[in-house]
């Protein structure tokens, strides 16, 4: 099998991160995104030893970044003994292949990085299937492209060498993709049946959603007395957890802990994990949990993307509550920061602060849930609303690395 299409071994060692910044006026937000990328890589035990950022209003077709920058990465990688380059931008298969050849390193984008972390954290069958499916969907076109190039240029005889065998492997990948899809669809039907059954029991469902590490499981444990695993490794929770508890003398609710969000969450991931997101979509109330310890710009970004993601999943804003966790570590002006950020949303969303670890303000949170449930009984929810322009910091689509087709022949001068 050609070198570039061999399955990658578990990632380790040292990495360089790279971003093509398409918003030339952005001098701060890209930093938040790069820092998050760095944190995700470090969670895999990989050291980030270099960073390359290029600013251009749209990506180059060949490498996403310019040819000069590829050479720069190649030199830097040799100098610092780097084996991996991680792109923030989403790469096309051809760009990935060109970059592997141009940099002399393995190259992945942030979508593959997220899948790699999921892979390491997954323990249940459904999560493993969803991850395998997403990985195959991403890698199959890359394998095909790499094989086409290899067998077109290098074959001494038509269909000689390993080509027949390789075509067989590609067919095997397609078969596996179809099998997994069928299996997941079956599980989806089962999941929807479970949701319907839970609703029949009559308990209102309260789903705790939010970015990874916000403290969703910590809050779930604090509220229900459960002891589900908690850690500062991203995506500790992949499959949903459920537990009942009473919130006042008359009402028992079902709390649900879910998979975490990540900034610029790829829509393919939402699709791959739709079974998990079904819990969020079908909940009576969604608690969108944030860390008050995040810097204000990160908080602003997460508020905007959090609302936007819930809308994409199909949650009406009427069902949402904001909860700001980790007040035990909050800066002194935390409440003022929250007020300021919330004023930008133009939504009148109820909110409160808690510390899941210290169990602070849990009673206030339960009262807010009881009030919200009462309010929902009296008022049917309205459909999802468009996201206010003040919250759109930068269109994530602009940094997908998919250039305009007209840009095909373009190259750095």
Ligand X SMILES: Nc1nc2c(ncn2[C@@H]2O[C@H](COP(=O)(O)OP(=O)(O)OP(=O)(O)O)[C@@H](O)[C@H]2O)c(=O)[nH]1
Q: Which of residues 39, 357, 370, 410 is near ligand X by CB under 6 A? A: 357
- Restricting to residues 120-139, name those near ligand X by CB under 6 A: none
Q: Closest approach of Cβ 252 to ligand X, in Å?
A: 23
Q: Which of 34, 36, 37, 38 is nearest to 54 (CA)?
A: 34
Please classify residue 268 by burial: count the beta carbons closer than 10 Å to its beta carbon, then call 0-12 exposed, 13-18 middle and 19+ buried: middle
Q: Identify what 214 binds: ligand X, Mg ion, none; CB under 5 to 8 Å per kind.
A: ligand X
In eight-state DSSP terms, residue 3 is G
Per-residue mark of binding to ligand X, 318-337 (x: CB under 6 A): -------xx-xx--------
At residue 353, φ and ψ (nearest 5 deg) are -115, 150
**Minimal CB distance residue for Mg ion:** 237
Q: Closest approach of Cβ 230 to ligand X, in Å?
A: 4
Q: Closest approach of Cβ 122 to ligand X, in Å?
A: 12
Q: Which of residues 23, 94, 236, 243 is near ligand X by CB under 6 A? A: 236
- CA-based max dimension of the chain: 80
Q: Closest approach of Cβ 134 to Mg ion, in Å?
A: 20
Distance, CA of 268 to CA of 211 (rounded, Å): 17
**What number of residues does the chain have?**
413
Q: Applying CB under 5 A, does 282 fall inside the site for Mg ion? A: no
- Residue 265 half-sphere exposure toward CB, CA atoms < 13 A: 27
Q: Applying CB under 5 A, does 94 fall inside the site for Mg ion? A: no
Q: Applying CB under 6 A, does 88 fall inside the site for ligand X? A: no
Nearer Cβ to ligand X, position 232 or 374?
Answer: 232
DSSP-derived secondary structure for 299-348: HHHHHHHHHHHHHHHT--GGGEEEEEE-GGG--TTHHHHHHHHHHHH---
Q: Applying CB under 6 A, does 231 fall inside the site for ligand X? A: yes
Q: What is the C-alpha end-to-end distance of the chain, expressed in Å? A: 35
Distance, CA of 401 to CA of 19 (rounded, Å): 10
Q: Which of residues 217, 282, 341, 353 is near Mg ion by CB under 5 A? A: 217
Q: Identify what 328 binds: ligand X, Mg ion, none; CB under 5 to 8 Å per kind.
A: ligand X
Q: Which of residues 54, 74, 237, 258 is near Mg ion by CB under 5 A? A: 237
- Restricting to residues 57-86, name those near ligand X by CB under 6 A: none
Judged by CB under 6 A, the number of residues near ligand X is: 22
Q: Applying CB under 6 A, does 237 fall inside the site for ligand X? A: yes
Q: Which of residues 23, 236, 251, 357 is near Mg ion by CB under 5 A? A: 236
Contact by Cβ (8 Å): 68, 89: no
Nearer Cβ to ligand X, position 280 or 384?
Answer: 280
Pair type for strands 47-55 and 14-21:
parallel
Residue the block writes with tokens 């600013």 = 55
Distance, CA of 12 to CA of 326 (rounded, Å): 32
Q: Which residues bind Mg ion (CB under 5 A)?
A: 216-217, 236-237
Binding site for ligand X (CB under 6 A): 212-218, 230-232, 234-237, 260, 325-326, 328-329, 355-357
């Amino acid at each position: 099998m050609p070198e570039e299409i061999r399955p990658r071994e578990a990632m380790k060692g040292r990495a360089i991160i790279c971003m093509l910044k398409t918003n030339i006026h952005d001098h701060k937000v890209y930093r938040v995104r790069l820092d998050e990328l760095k944190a995700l890589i470090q969670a895999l035990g990989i050291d980030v030893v270099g960073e390359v950022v290029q600013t251009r209003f749209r990506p180059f077709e060949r490498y996403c970044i310019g040819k000069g920058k590829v050479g720069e990465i190649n030199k830097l990688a040799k100098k610092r003994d780097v084996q991996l380059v991680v792109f923030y931008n989403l790469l096309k298969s051809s760009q990935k292949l060109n970059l592997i050849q141009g940099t002399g390193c393995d190259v992945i984008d942030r979508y593959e990085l997220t899948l790699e972390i999921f892979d390491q954290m997954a323990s249940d069958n459904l999560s493993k299937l969803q991850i395998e499916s997403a990985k195959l969907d991403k890698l199959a076109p890359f394998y095909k492209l790499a094989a086409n190039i290899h067998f077109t240029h290098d074959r001494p005889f038509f269909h000689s060498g390993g080509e027949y065998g390789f075509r067989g492997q590609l067919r095997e990948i397609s078969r596996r993709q179809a099998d997994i899809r069928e299996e997941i669809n079956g599980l989806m039907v089962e999941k929807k049946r479970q949701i319907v059954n839970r609703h029949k029991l009559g308990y209102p469902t309260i789903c705790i959603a939010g970015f990874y590490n916000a403290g969703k499981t910590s809050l779930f444990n604090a509220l229900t007395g459960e002891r589900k695993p908690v850690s500062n490794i991203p995506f500790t929770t992949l499959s949903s957890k459920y537990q009942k508890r009473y919130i006042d003398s008359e009402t028992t609710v079902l709390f649900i802990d879910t998979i975490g969000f990540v900034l610029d969450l790829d829509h393919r991931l939402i699709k791959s994990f739709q079974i998990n997101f079904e819990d969020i979509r079908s909940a009576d109330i969604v608690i969108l949990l944030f860390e008050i310890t995040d810097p204000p710009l990160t908080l602003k970004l997460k508020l905007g993307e959090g609302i936007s993601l819930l809308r994409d999943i199909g949650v009406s804003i009427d069902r949402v509550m904001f909860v700001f966790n980790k007040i035990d570590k909050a800066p002194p002006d935390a409440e003022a920061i929250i007020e300021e950020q919330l004023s930008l949303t133009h939504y009148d969303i109820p909110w409160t602060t808690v510390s899941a670890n210290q169990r602070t303000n849990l009673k206030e949170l339960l009262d807010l849930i009881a009030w919200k449930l009462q309010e929902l009984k009296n008022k049917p929810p309205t459909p999802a609303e468009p996201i206010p322009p003040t919250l759109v910091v930068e269109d994530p689509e602009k940094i997908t690395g998919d250039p305009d087709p007209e840009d095909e022949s373009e190259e750095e001068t």
